[in-house]
Amino acid sequence: MAFKFQGVDFIAFDSLLSKDELLIRANTRAFIEDKLIPIVEQCNRDGRFPRELVRPMGELGFYGATLDGYGCAGMNNVEYGLLMQELERGDSGIRSFISVQSALVMYPIYAFGSEEQKYFWLPKMATGEKLGCFGLTEPDFGSNPGGMRMRARKDGDHYVLNGEKMWITSGSFADVAVIWAKVEEPGVAPEDWKVRGFLVETDRPGFSAHDVHGKWSLRTSVTSGLSLQDVRIPATNLLPKSDGLKSPLMCLNQARYGISWGVIGAAMACYDTALQYAKQRKQFHGQPIASHQLVQEKLVWMITEITKAQLLALQVGRLKDEGKAGFQHISMAKKNNVGIALECARMARDILGANGITDDYPIMRHMMNLESVKTYEGTDDIHTLILGNSITGISAF
């Protein structure tokens, strides 16, 4: 049996939040409880993305939530973080879908696009009428995106794109793909070709997508491979302000920030389930297992690390709202918070014993999801090297 979520706030964390921030969290929490929690385990079993929730989430302003104008909600970064927290408390796959739509598709259009591109795409994407995907990772290049083989060749007033992308969330049902490619330049060595961003409508000839099956993680999210074979797009589909590899990395920074909050939600779900279970489950002379020292030690570790993760995410969010958050701050939040969330899931599974492996409880689903979250948007090792470079001034890449 699943437990009703009770909330997790050990040090009056809520007192650090504004009324608007609390309201957004409350509204998102209510939506997750009413619409996602009742169906998420079956969706996970079936490997099904709940398309029926796409437009309702748009009505609540979940897409492109931090953007101003174009039908977007204009949330501050802490409000957005709390939104991500509640979404991932429901399921990492649903948070991933919204992260991609928001941080990896709408954000680059907003940051690097022309006004025509913004006015055409952003209002439709804010409602969920149009969906997008982000094509950076390739079959042979994940942590080293600079090695990409996707090419764009200028041909009159068009570009012709060729290459493959892999591990693309929402790839097979997106209306538009933000594709990052190296633009061929005659007389320039290929390693020096500049990376630019392109808007590629997915119904163009030569564009195809196939879904990845057999996943044990993110089963409520669609993961795809993309193939572009002589795909012709108008030159006006170039994101004009995209400028080298730093542009997609700026997008990833937005997504990593959302993840640093989202995984707190997954950790909260595991901790709260373990706490309630431990107080009800009786062993050894009819005593609840919560009365045992080893169980209490696990619960104490979990609530302490969740509390620290909340404070880290909040401070990075406040810095971000002030324009002071560096990529290294976001790397620390992503690395730390994913790590403690995964450990919370493992400890919670241990407390539930055999019951922890069944989908009567959300713990094993969160644990499997978090294994992917630890890897994508920069692996744990990559974020370690980013932080090492930041504090020493010496690159170990």
**Would you name the residues annotated as active-site residues?**
377
Q: Residues 338, 380: contact at Cβ < 8 Å?
A: yes
Measure the CA–CA gap between 209 and 202, rounded to whole angstroms: 9
Q: What tokens were used for 126?
A: 């804010």
Angle at CA 167, nearest 5°, toward 106 and 64?
Answer: 15
Beta strand spans in 212-341 (E): 223-234, 282-283, 287-288
Surface-to-core class of residue 12, CB atoms within 10 Å of its CB (0-12 exposed, 13-18 middle, 19+ buried)? exposed
- Bridge partners for 211 per DSSP: 224
Dump the DSSP string for 45-108. HHT---GGGHHHHHHTT-TTTT--STT-----HHHHHHHHHHHHHH-HHHHHHHHIIIIIIIHH
CB atoms within 10 A of CB 33: 15
- Residue 207's closest CA among 163, 270, 250, 263? 163
Q: Residues 386, 327: contact at Cβ < 8 Å?
A: yes
Surface-to-core class of residue 200, CB atoms within 10 Å of its CB (0-12 exposed, 13-18 middle, 19+ buried)? buried
